[in-house]
Structure 1
Amino acid sequence: MRKYEVVVAGGGVSGSIAAIAAARAGAATLIIEAGGFLGGTLTAAGVGPMMTFHAGHKQAIQGITDELIQRLQALGKSPGHIPDATNYTYSVTPFDAEAMKYELDLMLQESGGEVLYHTMLAGAEVSGRRIESLTLCNKAGLSRITADVFIDATGDGDLAAWSGVPFTKGRESDEQSQPMTLKMKMRGVDTEKIKAYIREHREDFPRMNLDITVMDSAARLSVAGFDKQFREAKSRGEISIPREDVLFFETSNPGEIIMNTTRILGKDSTDPWSLSEAEIEGRRQCRELELFLKKYIPGFEESVVVSTGPSIGVRGSRQIKGVYTLTAQDILSVKPFADVIAHSGYPIDIHSPDGEGTATDHLEWGAMYGIPYRCLITNEIDNLIVVGRCLSATFEAQAAVRTTPTVGAIGQAGGTAAALAVKEGVPVQQVDYKELQQTLVAHGAYLEV
């Protein structure tokens, strides 16, 4: 049985950054990843752009996550952080997904970390308050691996749940999660034609607040609107998607857009049957959307679909019950935490589990909230840290901290804490949060402490 100091289950954004951080801090680190590359939703689900690294003019998220973007910029594979032309949040960060896969491989290798691709978590052996080993499943069959500290970066909190950590699912009232979305990437889109239409029909773009100067100054296009066309198509039976408008973003490649408009309700990403149904429904909605765009939306006449997915995007499922549970009130009141390990300026952003509508609670302009270390650790397991969207938070709070820049910052904190726990030989609950904060800042993270 192989032994590491830190094993990260899941190579998404949070898990990748966690592993790089742990390895840079000197821990022998391994990522277990079900796919063939790192990056999670950004590279495996077609999600983009990243939003947001900022709170007003202040860059709230820096560190390893921002280093990844800087490396992509140097390669011409990202324009960096640019204004959000929909005026929903402060900035968006387009990127080339293929380049991101490669850079994450490089960053992990440079840190000294290892990765085991095409491998799934199949079980956990727990003794008392410790995870003793994991059972893995891949083409070689079943095997076991052990570590001093484990990081759950599965997105769904699989390792935590299988280790006996209590959790909630979805909305507290009925356990319904935010809808899933299958992204669709299209090329050959005439963005100048779209901009011209928006200038002449501002009434069809209420979410963009009619501030056209932001759209004109941004290096890439972001659009929320075409409300009239979408509504009329629904009335004719051409669109069945339970959503109120069309939302899409231009990638780092001009004329290439990611469509964020499908909405799959009532599915559970922790149930493989339900997840399979969601994938099928997502593709059906994408086909419906493609026909609508090419027929009714100026600029899409010559567009072609490049890809869908290849995996559906999941906004939420399990939330662990950690030492502390982050709440909406914590976020909106900008509650200070002595053990803060990351900041974010992204609002509470709830895509309705019931159908149309997106409920948003914005903070005051420029305000940013903190995420405490206690949301990453449990009361039950001494060698487990949980990073990513399945951290300890209420349904509403998770809707704010689930986006990729934020979970990247959380991942850096989790990986750094794991390395400190190994170094000091202490349970993760006893990691000195002041030392953790100092180490994070020394490695480029932004913290107001």
Structure 2
Amino acid sequence: MTDFDHYDVVVAGGGPSGIMAAVAAAREGAKTLLIERYGFLGGMATNALVGPLQTFHAGENQIAFGLAEEAIQRLKKIGGTPGHVKDMIGFVPTITPVDVEKLKYVYQEMVEESGAELLLHTVVTGVEVTEQSDLKALHLYNKSGAFQVSGHVFIDCTGDGDVVAQSDVPFEKGRKKDGLAQPMSMMFRLGRVDLAKVKQYMIDYPDEFVLAEGWEEVPFVAVSGFFDLVKQGKDNGDFNVARDRVLFFELPAEGEVTVNMTRVIRYDATDGNALSRAEVISRQQVMEVVAFLQKYIPGCEDAVLINCGTQIGVRESRRTLGKYQLTGEDVVKGRTFDDVIAPGSYPIDIHSPDGDELNVLKMEPGTIYHIPYRSILNDYRKNLLSAGRCLSAEHEALASARVTPTAMLVGQAAGTAGAVAAKQQCLPEEVDIQEIQALLKARGCFLGETVHHD
């Protein structure tokens, strides 16, 4: 192992939270390194085709701004998204369809322009700890071999809490009663879909779908339904996946949709053998789903499989046990915190860990909840922050806070905090939260000042 450079802020994981953490830290003047295991950035949205992004809004009001909104505006300029459009299903106020290849480019350019250094095809293999029990360095591996990087602040944005686990910081996995996490899904792109035919069927049989009021006028097709046809497929033995509906969303490219219908239950995304098996099962399911859609679903008769995700989509794995654990009650009741770093508004959306159900705890329309700074801090490695999907939250709360726009907001806050801590040569917990909040607001972020109370 050879020594590498020292950084003010080291970010592990180039998903939505990691990208925003690195860009935020670098723009605040911190010498920043972003580490990503794939050859591109974007996390679940690009490597697992998880889309559309949802949601940037609470009711009629947009709440996700800052770097998250900058990314969407950059993407819009190059034809990679129509922006935020009404959700035909009505699950959330708006959805944001994206062209994942163009999104990869936008994320890459934001990181490059910020001055942050980027290491792709690089994985974290271990950590080094100081005598004071803080992190001193990350052990890394890529095509050049094994090496290490040291830093003042480290931010775990791996999604799976890999650095948290390697650092012996306590964490939880899954729901309380049995430790089972939400299922994994292999999403895929389908081309040559006759969306006019799909929409006409929805007009003819509206009771077969989950639909928002005024859905007929929505320009981008979103489908949650075909319940009778799914039942027919199951009865005939043509559809055996643990799913109760067809779920797909129109993409920016004509005739293309992103399909979310596979479901691999009872597998742990942090277990190497289980993850390998889940990948195999999910691709088998993809072929079954494609055949089912072609045979049963109007508008999909001539559809073609374009591509699957680079990896299976993971909804939930490790969750850090931080200074504060965000609760399901916090989410549903729109709870406020003085140390707020980001707003959230997505419903609690739990795909059953052991069945085919989708369990939703809806909030009052327009409800906003706060994500507190303490939910990315911990008492064990005090210079390690946890942002994105591995922040400190209960199983139920993570079912809301895990989504891409929220992860981007939390990532920007973590990067900002890391940069301030490095500049002041102190621990992240010692930074004045009001200074972090002021910086976020100065950078265009909304911190959910107006919320629904109990």
Deviation at 1:218, TM superposition (A): 2.4
Deviation at 1:328, TM superposition (A): 0.7
CA distance in 1, matches of 2:316, 2:175: 10
CA distance in 1, matches of 2:188, 2:335: 38
The question of whether the paired residues in 2 share the 8 Å contact of 1:17 and 1:65 is answered with yes
- Secondary structure of 1:47 counterpart: coil
Select 2:147's aligned residue among 122, 143, 156. Answer: 143
Correspondence 1:49-60 to 2 at 5 A:
49-60=52-63
Deviation at 1:219, TM superposition (A): 2.8
Q: Deviations over 1:230-271 (max 9, x none)?
A: 111111111111111110011121211000011100111111
Deviation at 1:141, TM superposition (A): 1.4
The question of whether the paired residues in 1 share the 8 Å contact of 2:369 and 2:448 is answered with no
Select 2:26's aligned residue among 4, 23, 27. Answer: 23
The question of whether the paired residues in 2 share the 8 Å contact of 1:189 and 1:300 is answered with yes
CA distance in 2, matches of 1:408, 1:218: 26
The CA RMSD over aligned residues, in Å, is 0.9
Q: Does 1:69 align with 2:72?
A: yes
Q: Does 1:168 align with 2:172?
A: yes
Correspondence 1:58-207 to 2 at 5 A:
58-127=61-130, 128-205=132-209, 207=210
Q: Deviations over 1:266-288 (max 9, x none)?
A: 11111111001011111011100
CA distance in 1, matches of 2:363, 2:431: 31
The question of whether the paired residues in 2 share the 8 Å contact of 1:70 and 1:80 is answered with yes
Specify the alignment match of 1:311 in structure 2: 311
Q: Deviations over 1:142-193 (max 9, x none)?
A: 1111111100001011101111110111001100000000001011111110
CA distance in 1, matches of 2:206, 2:71: 36
Q: Does 1:32 align with 2:44?
A: no
Correspondence 1:366-381 to 2 at 5 A:
366-381=366-381
Specify the alignment match of 2:326 in structure 1: 326
The question of whether the paired residues in 2 share the 8 Å contact of 1:50 and 1:404 is answered with yes
Letter in 2 for 1:380: Y
- Secondary structure of 1:389 counterpart: helix
Q: Does 1:47 align with 2:71?
A: no
- The verdict on how the C-alpha distance between 1:204 and 1:448 changes in structure 2, with shifts beyond 3 A counting, is closer
Q: Deviations over 1:39-88 (max 9, x none)?
A: 01111111110000000111111110110000111112110000011111
CA distance in 1, matches of 2:410, 2:252: 25
Specify the alignment match of 2:452 in structure 1: none
The question of whether the paired residues in 2 share the 8 Å contact of 1:343 and 1:370 is answered with yes
Correspondence 1:366-405 to 2 at 5 A:
366-405=366-405
Deviation at 1:129, TM superposition (A): 2.5
Deviation at 1:107, TM superposition (A): 0.7
Letter in 2 for 1:172: K
Higher mean C-alpha displacement, 71-80 vs 174-183: 71-80
Deviation at 1:366, TM superposition (A): 0.9
Letter in 2 for 1:192: A
Deviation at 1:37, TM superposition (A): 0.6
TM-score by length of 1: 0.98
TM-score by length of 2: 0.97
Letter in 2 for 1:163: S
Aligned residues with identical type, % of pairs: 45
Letter in 1 for 2:181: S
The question of whether the paired residues in 2 share the 8 Å contact of 1:53 and 1:344 is answered with no
Deviation at 1:106, TM superposition (A): 0.8
Letter in 2 for 1:113: A
The question of whether the paired residues in 1 share the 8 Å contact of 2:12 and 2:18 is answered with yes
CA distance in 1, matches of 2:137, 2:76: 39
- Secondary structure of 1:342 counterpart: strand
- Secondary structure of 1:19 counterpart: helix
Structure 2 unaligned runs (5+)?
450-454
- Secondary structure of 2:253 counterpart: coil
CA distance in 2, matches of 1:161, 1:151: 13
- Secondary structure of 2:175 counterpart: coil
